[in-house]
């Protein structure tokens, strides 16, 4: 058993994800850049976040918006330079902010020099860094694995008749994590950035690294029709042989040991939904943190939200990064209203629901993350079908429901053209946001979502028991209501559509935060909270 401890700077921290190309453009090319982030670090610090995570900044042919990396030890020129990253780190550290980059170890780009060599010379050592396999008995792909983004997970290398494996696009060939050369190459990449002061990494597709040595067919769980989107098809299989292999944990332990030398953190992107399997990703023998992505996929289902959060927090009260949104999902303000009749107040209800869930996440330990624009209560961006950028949408003949573009539009800073993001048309053609959705307007309005999110982070910072004291799940009046106590802090997350009275909490509480305007009343031995409202109480000292 290792005696490794979680690093101190993670205690009580809150993260903020930046979709790098959409945050702020300082060069006038319509593309966000590193200096644009540096210029806006004060805003993030004012909001109260402690850690920023930047989506990939490396050279890339952009088949999957930077998640197809051509060189892990460089910065793409339209984002800036390595020196810009160093300047960002310096400014961030002076504001007490930590910076995580995104590392993409499951696959490279087809333009990475390793893959180029692997194709040109099948006898090269680089060939063995990827997963080339002979054709199956029928001359087709070696097995029935499919890609997340549509079609088989295998593409033919015509020159040799072999296929290479890719769990995402054919332009994203998977690496062979059973090859020690691959392990060594990534150790070197980590060190390159740690030496420059990077505070850690978010690890893309951490659950996908190793494949089962048998390369057996995955069992199919259910039939889906041809009209189903690629992800629905992907999840119609039991990914027994291509995802979440037990021995991935050994790679995590190796990496975290390396990161420990630099007091750096590692955070898995894990699509694993089983709570016990996910808990294995974190702890003294694995990584500091793992995302739990499921709350970012769910549509509004109060009992499910309560259960998914509390059950996992009881198993792992320290190592989870909680989220309800990221760059791969529709914005929660829209998603949590799906299926509801259209109404002018939908956005407001969507914001209330988002913030009610986020408030609960703030008491579950670990390091919760906000996604840029979430603090403004942004709904999905309006993007015309002909302007879609996401390969999941452009390469599949489905209804586009799985397109991720709606969550990737420019940060609305102010009401000037293009919301102050850029002096020219942004890389993604989306409509400007109205004034009340901008940072400028919301900073000036104490009743805005921005001020509420800021107050929530301030409350968490001011009440260390919220993440330090032992986690206790108290009796709740309904399965749509979470009641959590941590020492001198109590949180009632009432996700139901009704007012609820909680008697399990006892007396002596003072209100510290409420997620929306609405009823919060403190009685003698009970607390009452209005519908779709989460409230934080502190013990009356
Ligand atoms: C997860 C990333 O968040 C997503 O944007 C990307 O397409 C896939 N991994 C493949 O790298």
User: Residue 472: pLDDT band by 50, 70, 90 thresholds?
Assistant: very high
Would you say how long the chain is, in residues?
541
Ligand 1 centroid–CA 67 distance in Å is 6
What does the radius of gyration of the chain's CA atoms come to, in whole angstroms?
23
For residue 1, pLDDT beyond 50: no
Question: How many CA atoms lie less than 13 Å away from 165 in the CB half-sphere?
Answer: 28
291 C-beta closer than 6 A to ligand 1 = no
Domain 8-109+177-457: give its CATH architecture. Alpha-Beta Barrel (3.20)
For residue 365, pLDDT beyond 80: yes
Structure tokens at 277: 């399997």
> Which atom of ligand 1 lies closest to the CA of 67?
11
> Which atom of ligand 1 lies closest to the CA of 168?
10
pLDDT, one tens digit per residue, over 33-42 is 999 999 999 9
* Cα–chain center distance at 306: 20
Residue 340 contacts by C-beta under 8 Å, 6 or more apart in sequence?
300, 346, 349
Q: What stretch of H or E contains 118? A: helix 113-120
The per-residue pLDDT for 22 is 98
Cβ neighbours around 265 below 10 Å, total = 24
Catalytic residue numbers?
204, 261
Do residues 175 and 107 touch, judged by C-beta distance below 8 A? yes
Decide whether 113-165 matches 470-539 in CATH topology. no
Nearest to 404 by CA among 299, 293, 291, 327: 327
Ligand 1 centroid–CA 66 distance in Å is 9
Residue 150 contacts by C-beta under 8 Å, 6 or more apart in sequence?
230, 233, 392, 395, 396
The per-residue pLDDT for 398 is 67
Please give the CATH topology (third level) of the domain spanning 470-539: Immunoglobulin-like (2.60.40)
Residue 323 contacts by C-beta under 8 Å, 6 or more apart in sequence?
17, 291, 292, 293, 295, 296, 361, 368, 369, 371
The residues spanned by each domain of the chain are: 8-109+177-457, 113-165, 470-539
For residue 399, pLDDT beyond 80: no
For residue 438, pLDDT beyond 90: yes
pLDDT, one tens digit per residue, over 366-397 is 999 999 999 999 999 999 888 989 988 888 87
205 C-beta closer than 6 A to ligand 1 = yes
104 C-beta closer than 6 A to ligand 1 = yes
The per-residue pLDDT for 401 is 59
Pocket test for ligand 1, best of 57, 61, 62, 64 (most atoms within 8 A of CB): 64
For residue 297, pLDDT beyond 50: yes
pTM of the predicted structure, to 2 decimals: 0.97
Question: How far separated are the first and last CA of the chain, in Å rounded?
Answer: 40
Residue with tokens 């990253």, as numbered in its chain: 85
Average pLDDT over residues 407-436: 97
Pocket test for ligand 1, best of 148, 204, 293 (most atoms within 8 A of CB): 204
Residue 516 contacts by C-beta under 8 Å, 6 or more apart in sequence?
351, 352, 355, 356, 452, 532, 533
* Cα–chain center distance at 207: 14
Residue nearest atom 4 of ligand 1, based on CA coordinates = 328
Q: What stretch of H or E contains 537? A: strand 533-539
pLDDT, one tens digit per residue, over 102-125 is 999 999 999 999 999 999 999 999
| Residue 367 DSSP class | -
CATH class of this structure's domain 113-165: alpha beta
Taking the C-alpha atoms of 39, 200, 363 and 17 in order, what is their torsion angle to the nearest 10 degrees? 40
For residue 5, pLDDT beyond 80: no
Q: Is 220 helix (H, G, I), strand (E, B) or coil?
A: strand
Separation between Cα atoms, residue 35 and residue 46, nearest integer Å: 18
Average pLDDT over residues 184-212: 98
204 C-beta closer than 6 A to ligand 1 = yes
Ligand 1 centroid–CA 367 distance in Å is 21
pLDDT, one tens digit per residue, over 256-266 is 999 999 999 99
Q: What share of the chain is helix, strand, coil (3-state, %, to 5)?
A: 30, 15, 55
For residue 2, pLDDT beyond 80: no
Q: Is 188 helix (H, G, I), strand (E, B) or coil?
A: helix
Average pLDDT over residues 51-74: 98
User: Residue 54: pLDDT band by 50, 70, 90 thresholds?
Assistant: very high
Do residues 429 and 19 touch, judged by C-beta distance below 8 A? no
Q: Is 521 helix (H, G, I), strand (E, B) or coil?
A: strand
């Amino acid at each position: 058993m290792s005696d490794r401890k979680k690093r101190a700077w993670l205690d009580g921290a809150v993260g903020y994800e930046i979709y790098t190309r959409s945050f702020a453009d300082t060069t006038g090319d319509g593309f966000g850049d590193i200096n644009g982030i540096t210029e806006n670090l004060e805003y993030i610090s004012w909001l109260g976040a402690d850690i920023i995570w930047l989506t990939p900044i490396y050279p890339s042919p952009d088949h999957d918006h930077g998640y197809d990396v051509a060189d892990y030890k460089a910065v793409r020129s339209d984002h800036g330079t390595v020196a810009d990253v160093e300047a960002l780190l310096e400014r961030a550290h002076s504001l007490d902010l930590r910076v995580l980059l995104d590392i993409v170890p499951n696959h490279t780009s087809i333009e990475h020099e390793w893959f180029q060599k692997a194709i040109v010379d099948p006898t090269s050592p680089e060939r063995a860094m990827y997963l080339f396999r002979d054709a199956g008995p029928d001359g087709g792909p070696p097995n029935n694995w499919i890609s997340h983004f549509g079609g088989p997970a295998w593409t033919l290398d015509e020159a040799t008749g072999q296929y290479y494996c890719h769990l995402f696009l054919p332009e994203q060939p998977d690496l062979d994590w059973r090859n020690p050369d691959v392990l060594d190459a990534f150790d070197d990449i980590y060190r390159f950035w740690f030496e420059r002061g990077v505070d850690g990494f978010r690890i893309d597709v951490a659950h996908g690294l190793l494949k089962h040595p048998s390369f057996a067919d995955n069992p199919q769980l259910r039939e889906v029709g041809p009209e189903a989107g690629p992800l629905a098809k992907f999840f119609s299989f039991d990914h027994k042989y291509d995802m979440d292999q037990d021995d991935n944990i050994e790679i995590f332990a190796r990496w975290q040991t390396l990161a420990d030398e630099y007091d750096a953190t590692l955070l898995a992107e894990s699509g694993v939904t089983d709570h016990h399997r996910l808990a294995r990703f974190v702890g003294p023998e694995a990584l500091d943190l793992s995302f739990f992505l499921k709350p970012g996929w769910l549509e509004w289902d109060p009992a499910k939200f309560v259960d998914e959060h509390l059950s996992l927090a009881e198993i792992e009260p320290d190592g989870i990064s909680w989220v309800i949104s990221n760059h791969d999902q529709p914005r929660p303000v829209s998603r949590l209203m799906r299926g509801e009749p259209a109404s002018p107040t939908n956005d407001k209800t969507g914001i209330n629901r988002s913030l009610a869930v986020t408030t609960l996440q703030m008491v579950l330990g670990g390091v919760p993350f906000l996604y840029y624009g979430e603090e403004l209560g942004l709904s999905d961006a309006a993007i015309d079908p002909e302007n879609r950028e996401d390969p999941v949408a452009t390469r599949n003949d489905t209804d586009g429901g799985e397109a991720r573009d709606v969550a990737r539009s420019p940060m609305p800073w102010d009401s000037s053209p293009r919301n102050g993001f850029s002096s020219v048309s942004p890389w993604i053609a989306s409509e400007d946001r109205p004034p009340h959705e901008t940072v400028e307007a919301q900073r000036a309005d104490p009743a805005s979502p921005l001020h509420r999110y800021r107050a929530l982070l301030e409350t968490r910072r001011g009440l260390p028991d919220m993440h330090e004291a032992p986690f206790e799940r108290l009796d709740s009046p309904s399965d749509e209501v979470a009641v959590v106590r941590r020492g001198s802090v109590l949180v009632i997350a009432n996700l139901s559509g009704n007012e609820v009275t909680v008697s399990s909490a006892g007396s002596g509480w003072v209100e510290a935060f409420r997620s929306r305007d609405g009823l919060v009343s403190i009685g003698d031995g009970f607390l009452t909270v209005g519908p779709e409202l989460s409230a934080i109480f502190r013990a009356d000292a």
